[in-house]
Amino acid sequence: MSTANTRNMLWLQSGGCGGCTLSLMCAEAPDFLTAFEAAGINILWHPALSLQTGREAGAIIAEILDGRLRLDILCLEGSVMMGPDGTGRFHMLAGSGRAMKDVIADLAEVAGHVVGVGSCAAYGGITTTGGNPGEACGLGFQGSLKGGLLGKDFRDPSGLPVINIPGCPVHPDWVTETLAQVAAGEMTAEDLDAFGRPHAISGSLVHHGCSRNEYYEYKASAENLCEIGCMMENLGCKGTQAAGDCNKRPWNGRGSCITGGYPCIACTEPGFEEPGHPFVETPKIAGIPVGLPTDMPKAWFVALASLSKAATPRRLRENATSDRVKVFPERPRYRKKKR
């Protein structure tokens, strides 16, 4: 691409597994390359998708920092490795003798926009677990606290903070749509929530569109992973607390964690990686789940749950603890009118 409307994007990877790139490659209707081309996004370099070698990538980075090559969008996948002792030497940019954290910070200063792809780049994510020996952090957050590598006051030339596209891994459509909005110059501060997430993502809860919502409404709960009831009460599902439209926009056109039989672990939220209890358990106090639905007062939840359980149809009550539907909906019986 060489038109005036082209937006140059550089994608780097730091402390992480590369899973967000693998997810991006599964984008459909359109695929990610078609989506980027339509948005006028030119990939200067991507460590997994580009043909250039590390030396050639180093030359591209040097051109950007020297002002010879425009950088419109800087994307980081994976957390920033600050250790040991803040030196960043746990992750060096090969062949440069420089810590990756310093290279990322320098690039952020000259980039038009900075985007954290995935929860690791957003908040630190999985690489912060176990006492965080690598001193990992996100670009603009350390968990739920503002700061991270770039600091709480970071703003790009347009006045935007780091734009975070959360998820572990991130939904491919969230990446292509967010980057298209950024490339078009249509992203504003009003489009982002307190964690820098586009409202197009955070404006929905994973709970919305869940295939098990009928069970949730009647608090007909599964007790084991193989069962088809609601997984909130006993199996740790946080779909009512997590940002994302995963159940309304199926992954790979097929499903989500919940439709696959596993509870939502709220991977779009800071701190999801260490909830303080097993992912498939729901901590309770006096029988009441500790993690209640977003915006739901405890008293209301208790009252509604009691009423719901009392009104649970036999079909839902029995199917909830089964691995398949055993009791089917009863059809209304129509009486013939007497003539």
- Residues 158-174 have pLDDT tens digits of 999 999 999 999 999 99
pLDDT digits (tens, 9 = 90+) for 318-333: 999 999 999 999 887 7
Give the pLDDT band of residue 295 (cuts 50, 70, 90). confident
Compute, in degrees rounded to 10, the torsion defined by CA atoms 199, 201, 203, 207.
-170
pLDDT at 54: 87
Which whole number is the average pLDDT over 113-142? 97
**CB 131, CB 121: distance < 8 Å:** no
Enumerate the H helices of 95-252 as residue ranges.
100-110, 119-123, 172-183, 199-202, 213-217, 232-235
Query: Rounded to whole angstroms, how far apart are CA atoms 96 and 145?
Result: 31
DSSP string covering 109-125, please? HH-SEEEEESHHHHH-G
Strand ranges (E), 194-316 = 284-285, 288-289
Cβ neighbourhood burial of 335 (10 Å; 0-12, 13-18, 19+)? exposed
Which whole number is the average pLDDT over 271-289? 91
Q: What domains sit in the chain, N to C, each tagged with a CATH number?
A: 7-202 (3.40.50.700), 205-327 (4.10.480.10)
pLDDT at 1: 44
Q: Is the pLDDT confidence value at 2 over 80?
A: no
Q: Is the pLDDT confidence value at 24 over 90?
A: yes
Q: Is the pLDDT confidence value at 133 over 90?
A: yes
Q: Is the pLDDT confidence value at 126 over 90?
A: yes
pLDDT digits (tens, 9 = 90+) for 6-18: 999 999 999 999 9
What amino acid is encoded at 144 in this protein? S
What average pLDDT does the chain have? 93
Greatest mean pLDDT among 71-85, 244-258, 288-302 lies in 71-85
pLDDT at 134: 96
The predicted model scores a pTM of 0.92
Token reading at 143: 């968990």
Q: Is the pLDDT confidence value at 285 over 90?
A: no
Q: Is the pLDDT confidence value at 297 over 90?
A: no
What are the angstrom distances between the C-alpha of 53 and each of 16, 21, 75? 20, 18, 19
SS (HEC) of 141-168: EECCEECCCCCCCCCCCCCCCCEEECEC
